[in-house]
């Protein structure tokens, strides 16, 4: 029995030696990758430095056709450099650096980015479902600890999505700055409500606030359907051959989704304006505290910011649509010409 144990231990030690050599190989490759990444960053820095010098020298030069072409080439090069940068590690900055420290939060491949964004959308939906259930309970049970738990939950949720959105931004998301401000203001609003002392004014506003949150959870569900649809379609587009035609299909889908979503969003904004109005009125109540006017202003700012940002989405999408239409038409004319030339050549 003892011999068998020794034999097994010997076998295990040999396997461990193999593991050690594989690990050594792994560490060597990691070091190689780090030095290649550093080299890429150095080359990018060098490219940018020389382009800056060229741009300065070009200032005193008369613009003719060749200079114009050179300028276009430089603009294209900058876009290419940005694409290369996306494949390299990036240090966190600003808000993220303050919260997490200077760690690398970049995803180096598209699949990881896609999974993180998908997970972010699912996280928002799950939290809004929990919030929805809590609101339904709060409508029927008047419990202060449960209300405080709910507001604490909202604070945690807005903190979590603000951090996740900053990570998405580092990884190239085009999320508009307003939506991030919106989540930080919502975090602030939930914090103020948590310290809102229990008095008559709170009791008067409480049910309206709960209904607003129920509606907000419903909108989040619609947004989830839209954003997830867009995410999966964009991923599929990246894997297809005939890009322009499939982008046309994607834009058609996006417009349908957007025109369905917009009326619900604007009802939500009117809800926010109503909240601000009710809170302003309540701020004249004899039992009024500073939290009333603070939350009233917050709802007003949310209403203005959300309405203007959402309205601005429409012309920018229309512009994209028009640009694509022109590109597709040029491509079709080009294809027809090519076919005609081929036919002519064959006959
Ligand atoms: N929160 C988080 N991310 C958002 C966002 C939001 N409200 N709106 C857009 N984004 C993200 C998109 O997912 C996309 O990300 P990506 O670059 O990683 O792919 C990026 O920002 C660019 O999106 P954009 O093309 O500008 O808009 P869209 O077509 O994705 O969405 C709307 C347009 C109007 C549907 C969307 O902005 C929206 O739902 N806004 C309403 C939010 C709101 O008002 N909430 C409160 C309700 S009371």
pLDDT at 145 over 60: yes
Q: Tell me, in angstroms, the distance from the centre of ligand 1 to residue 227's CA.
A: 7
Q: Does 173 sit in the ligand 1 pocket, CB within 6 Å? A: yes
Which has the higher per-residue pLDDT, 230 or 122?
122
Give per-residue pLDDT as tens, 290-318.
999 999 999 999 999 999 999 998 888 88
Atom 32 (ligand 1) nearest CA: 310
Which has the higher per-residue pLDDT, 105 or 134?
134
Mean pLDDT along residues 239-255: 68
**Which pLDDT belongs to residue 130?**
97
Nearest-atom index, ligand 1, CA of 310: 34
Q: What is the pTM of this model?
A: 0.81
Cα pseudo-dihedral 337, 340, 344, 345, rounded to 10: 60
**Which pLDDT belongs to residue 78?**
94
Atom 33 (ligand 1) nearest CA: 313
240 alpha-carbon distance from chain centroid: 23
**Gap between the Cα atoms of 289 and 280, Å rounded:** 11
Beta carbons of 106 and 90 less than 8 angstroms apart: yes
Instruction: Annotate the chain with three-state secondary structure.
Output: CHHHHHHHHHHHHHHHHHHHHHHHHHHHHHHHHHHHHHHHHHHHHHHHHHHHHHHHHHCCCCCCHHHHHHHHHHHHHHHHHHHHHCCCCCECCHHHHHHHCCCECCCCCHHHHHHHHHHHHHHHHHHHHHHHHHHHHHHHCCCHHHHHHHHHHHHHHHHHHHHHHHHHHHCCCCCCHHHHHHHHHHHHHHHHHHCCCCCHHHHHHHHHHHHHHHHHHHHHHHHHHHHHHHHHHHHHHHCCCCHHHHHHHHHHHHHHHHHHHHHHHHHHHHHHHHHHHHHHHHCCCCCCCHHHHHHHHHHHHHHHHHHHHHHHHHHHHHHHHHHHHHHHHHHHHHHHHHHHHHHHHHC
Strand partners, 91: 104
Min mean pLDDT across 69-78, 232-241, 271-280 is at 232-241
Q: Tell me, in angstroms, the distance from the centre of ligand 1 to residue 107's CA.
A: 21
Which of 86, 117, 174 has most ligand 1 atoms within 8 Å of its beta carbon, as the pocket-test mutant? 174
pLDDT at 240 over 60: no
**Which pLDDT belongs to residue 95?**
81
Min mean pLDDT across 21-30, 93-102, 147-156, 277-286 is at 93-102
**Gap between the Cα atoms of 152 and 20, Å rounded:** 48
Q: Does 313 sit in the ligand 1 pocket, CB within 6 Å? A: yes
Q: Tell me, in angstroms, the distance from the centre of ligand 1 to residue 242's CA.
A: 26
Distance of CA 295 to CAs 10, 242, 269, 279, 298, Å?
70, 51, 15, 7, 5
Beta carbons of 58 and 67 less than 8 angstroms apart: yes
Give per-residue pLDDT as tens, 198-208.
788 998 999 99
317 alpha-carbon distance from chain centroid: 17
Mean pLDDT along residues 237-260: 72
User: What pLDDT band is residue 244 in, cutting at 50, 70 and 90?
Assistant: low
Give per-residue pLDDT as tens, 9-40.
999 999 999 999 999 999 999 999 999 999 99
Task: Provide the 10 A C-beta neighbour count for residue 133.
Answer: 11
Which has the higher per-residue pLDDT, 243 or 282?
282
Q: Does 307 sit in the ligand 1 pocket, CB within 6 Å? A: no
**Which pLDDT belongs to residue 321?**
72
**Which pLDDT belongs to residue 196?**
86
With b for 16 or more beta-carbon neighbours within 10 A and e for fewer, the 44-79 pattern comes to eeeeeeebeeeeeeeeeeeeeeeeeeeeeeeeeeee
**Which pLDDT belongs to residue 74?**
93
Which has the higher per-residue pLDDT, 270 or 332?
270
Give per-residue pLDDT as tens, 69-124.
898 899 999 999 988 988 888 877 788 888 888 888 888 788 888 899 999 999 99
Average pLDDT, the chain: 89
Q: Tell me, in angstroms, the distance from the centre of ligand 1 to residue 329's CA.
A: 29
**Which pLDDT belongs to residue 206?**
93
- Cα 288–Cα 293–Cα 299 angle in degrees, nearest 5: 135
Q: Tell me, in angstroms, the distance from the centre of ligand 1 to residue 100's CA.
A: 25
Q: Tell me, in angstroms, the distance from the centre of ligand 1 to residue 254's CA.
A: 12
């Amino acid at each position: 029995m003892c011999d068998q144990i020794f034999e097994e231990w010997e076998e295990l030690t040999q396997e461990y030696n193999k593991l050690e050599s594989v690990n050594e190989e792994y560490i060597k490759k990691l070091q190689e990758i780090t030095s290649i990444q550093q080299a890429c960053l150095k080359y990018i820095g060098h490219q940018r430095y020389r382009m800056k010098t060229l741009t300065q020298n070009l200032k005193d030069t008369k613009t003719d056709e060749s200079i114009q072409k050179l300028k276009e080439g430089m603009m294209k090069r900058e876009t290419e450099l940005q694409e290369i940068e996306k494949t390299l590690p990036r240090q966190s900055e600003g808000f993220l650096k303050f919260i997490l420290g200077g760690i690398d939060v970049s995803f180096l491949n598209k699949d990881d980015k896609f999974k993180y964004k998908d997970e972010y959308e699912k996280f928002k939906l799950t939290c809004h479902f929990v919030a929805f259930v809590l609101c339904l309970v709060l409508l029927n049970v008047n419990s202060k600890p449960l209300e405080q738990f709910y507001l604490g939950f909202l604070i945690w949720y807005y903190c979590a999505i603000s951090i996740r959105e900053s990570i998405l931004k580092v990884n190239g998301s085009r999320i508009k700055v307003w939506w991030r401000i919106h989540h930080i203001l919502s975090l602030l609003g939930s914090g103020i409500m948590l310290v809102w002392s229990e008095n008559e004014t709170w009791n008067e506003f409480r049910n309206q606030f709960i209904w607003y949150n129920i509606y907000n959870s419903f909108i989040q569900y619609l947004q989830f359907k839209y954003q997830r649809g867009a995410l999966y379609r964009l991923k599929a587009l990246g894997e297809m051959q005939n890009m322009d035609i499939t982008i046309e299909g994607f834009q058609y889908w996006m417009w349908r989704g957007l025109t369905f979503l917009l009326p619900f969003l604007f009802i939500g904004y009117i809800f926010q304006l109503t909240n601000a109005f009710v809170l302003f009125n309540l701020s004249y109540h004899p039992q009024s505290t500073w939290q009333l006017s603070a939350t009233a202003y917050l709802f007003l700012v949310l209403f203005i910011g959300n309405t203007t940002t959402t309205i601005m989405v429409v012309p920018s999408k229309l512009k994209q649509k028009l640009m694509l239409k022109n590109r597709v038409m040029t491509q079709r004319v080009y294809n027809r010409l090519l076919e005609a030339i081929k036919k002519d050549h064959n006959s």
